[in-house]
């Protein structure tokens, strides 16, 4: 191992995670020379990208530029399918690991990856050596990701869906989408005022939105859950004050799972905003296919809980009910947030409950089977928000509403494709 390689490994290991908003220090600036390097890198990668024909997997710094691994967009699918999933060193798992961590690789690891993939590195010359400053390296990371694809194994994602959207006029549809968008922006600002910064991203489904938190800190999933609560509360209050069909009735779902993240072409450049697709988005869509207007589903998931970032060992994975218990305990941070001029005093969330054979309370688990015959489990979520003035908001469907076949003319109880067990 030579000194240069040791230096690169140390450099790559010490680069911090992405900083946004208030987290950025005003003293962290990039020099004019390094800005020129970044611009030159962007220009070269755009040419190599070829409108999405190629993607970038990883990179490694050199004395006078960087090395990158470029492959055709179909390469990852072909490479992953070339080996059995039962092999513990299968190609798909290798690719997932490669695109789910930092793209800056030490020299030896970079060439090991190139050898395994059978890909020749591409050298991009820069006019000046790339600085070893974290801000510069992080900027290169973000550029590389825009011209590639990423994998996230464990992230919370929301899906908001406007009920009966196709039955409204185009003007009403536009008004309802704008109303839902405003509720999300309002929830973001209210959390930000309490120093809860959600770096949220969203993509439209046509009649709703997928929403996720770009942050991957231990509290990111919990923060997105609080974001869900405030969006639903704002939407509910707006409906009470509205006339006509300008504010939507929404179905919503929260789930934690894996997905791929990519940037599509917009003209001759990749977009600045990412898109996600994967198990978590599929699960959410299937949940809401069988949801009633106003219903809130939360998926059946297991997620590792950490008290501090990079803390070891991890706490045992928590299932959905344990996650909700933690969110209830942490919901005190929402106290004092204004809702229509009144401040939040209490927030409580829980799955609909039933009784087991011994008469003990237990969560009602809904078994959802889609049109493809694929099943997944979910819980019906009930939310209660009380203000300091004694006003109460009840969000989601109660147990009585779930059991009443007349509560929603579009569904019977149990609904088609829905069966129930007690967890």
CATH of the domain at 291: 3.30.70.1230
Lowest mean pLDDT among 12-26, 88-102, 373-387: 12-26
Whole-number Cα distances in Å, 392 to 118, 342, 348: 62, 11, 11
Would you give the distance in Å from CA 17 to the centre of its chain? 16
Q: Is the distance from CB of 63 to CB of 129 less than 8 angstroms?
A: yes
Regarding whether 179 and 134 lie in a shared domain, the answer is: no
Q: What is the model's pLDDT at position 279?
A: 94
Report the pLDDT averaged over residues 302-330: 71
Regarding whether 378 and 260 lie in a shared domain, the answer is: yes
Q: Quick one: 229 exposed, middle or buried, by C-beta within 10 A (0-12, 13-18, 19+)? A: buried
Q: Is the pLDDT of residue 10 over 70?
A: no
Regarding whether 363 and 231 lie in a shared domain, the answer is: yes
Name the more confident of 107 and 355. 107
As a whole number of Å, the end-to-end CA separation of the chain is 54
Regarding whether 299 and 179 lie in a shared domain, the answer is: yes
- What angle (nearest 5°) sits at the alpha carbon of residue 52, between those of residues 50 and 54? 70
Regarding whether 300 and 393 lie in a shared domain, the answer is: yes
pTM here?
0.84
Regarding whether 74 and 195 lie in a shared domain, the answer is: no
Strands, E assignment, 187-325: 200-204, 208-213, 250-262, 265-266, 269-270, 275-277, 296-299, 302-303, 318-319
pLDDT in tens, 236-286: 999 999 988 999 999 999 999 999 998 876 666 666 678 899 999 999 999
Lowest mean pLDDT among 74-88, 162-176, 314-328, 330-344: 74-88
Q: Is the pLDDT of residue 393 over 90?
A: yes
Percent pLDDT > 70 in the chain is 83
Number of domains in the chain: 2
Whole-number Cα distances in Å, 201 to 75, 181, 218, 257, 347: 28, 12, 18, 16, 25
Q: Quick one: 406 exposed, middle or buried, by C-beta within 10 A (0-12, 13-18, 19+)? A: exposed
pLDDT in tens, 153-197: 889 999 999 999 999 999 999 999 999 999 999 999 999 999 998
Regarding whether 389 and 269 lie in a shared domain, the answer is: yes
pLDDT in tens, 137-155: 999 999 999 999 999 988 9
Regarding whether 135 and 180 lie in a shared domain, the answer is: no
pLDDT band at 46 (very low <50, low <70, confident <90, very high): very high
Walk across the sheet containing 65-72 and list its strands. Answer: 54-62, 65-72, 122-125
Domain that holds residue 24: 3-147
Regarding whether 164 and 119 lie in a shared domain, the answer is: no
Residue ending a domain, choose from 97, 114, 147: 147
């Amino acid at each position: 191992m030579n000194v240069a390689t040791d230096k690169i490994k140390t450099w790559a290991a010490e680069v911090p995670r992405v900083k946004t908003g208030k987290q950025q220090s005003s003293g962290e600036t990039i020099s004019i020379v390094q800005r020129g390097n970044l611009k030159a890198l962007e220009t070269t990668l755009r040419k190599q990208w070829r409108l999405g024909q190629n993607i970038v997997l990883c990179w490694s710094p050199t004395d006078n530029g960087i090395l990158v691994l470029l492959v055709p967009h179909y390469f990852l699918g072909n490479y992953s399918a070339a080996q059995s999933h039962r092999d513990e060193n299968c190609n798909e798992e290798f690719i997932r690991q490669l695109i789910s961590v930092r793209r800056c690789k030490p020299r030896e690891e970079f060439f090991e990856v190139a050898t395994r993939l059978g890909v020749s590195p591409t050298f991009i010359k820069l006019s000046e050596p790339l600085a070893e400053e974290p801000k510069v390296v992080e900027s290169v990371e973000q550029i590389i990701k825009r011209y590639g694809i990423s994998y996230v194994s464990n992230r919370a994602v929301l899906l908001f869906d406007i009920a009966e959207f196709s039955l409204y006029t185009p003007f009403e549809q536009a008004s309802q989408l704008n109303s839902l968008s405003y509720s999300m922006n309002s929830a973001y600002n209210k959390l930000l005022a309490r120093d809860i910064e959600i770096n949220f991203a969203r993509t439209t489904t046509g009649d709703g939105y997928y929403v996720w938190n770009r942050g991957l800190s231990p509290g990111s999933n919990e923060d997105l859950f609080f974001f869900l609560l405030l969006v639903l509360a704002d939407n509910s209050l707006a409906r009470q004050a509205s006339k006509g069909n300008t504010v939507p009735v929404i179905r919503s779902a929260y789930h934690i799972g894996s997905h791929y993240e990519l940037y599509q072409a917009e003209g001759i450049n990749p977009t600045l905003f990412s898109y996600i697709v994967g198990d978590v988005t599929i699960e959410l869509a299937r949940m809401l296919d069988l949801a009633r207007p106003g219903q809130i589903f939360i998926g059946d998931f297991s997620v590792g809980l950490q008290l501090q970032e990079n803390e070891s060992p991890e706490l045992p994975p928590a299932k959905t009910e344990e996650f909700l218990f933690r969110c209830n305990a942490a919901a005190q941070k929402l106290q004092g947030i204004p809702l229509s001029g009144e401040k939040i005093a209490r927030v409580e969330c829980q799955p609909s409950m039933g009784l087991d054979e011994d008469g003990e309370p237990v969560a009602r688990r809904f078994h959802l089977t889609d049109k493809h015959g694929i099943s997944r489990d979910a819980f019906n979520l009930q939310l209660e928000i009380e203000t300091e003035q004694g006003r109460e908001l009840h969000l989601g469907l109660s147990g009585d509403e779930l059991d009443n076949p007349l509560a929603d003319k579009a569904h019977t109880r149990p609904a088609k494709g829905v069966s129930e067990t007690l967890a």
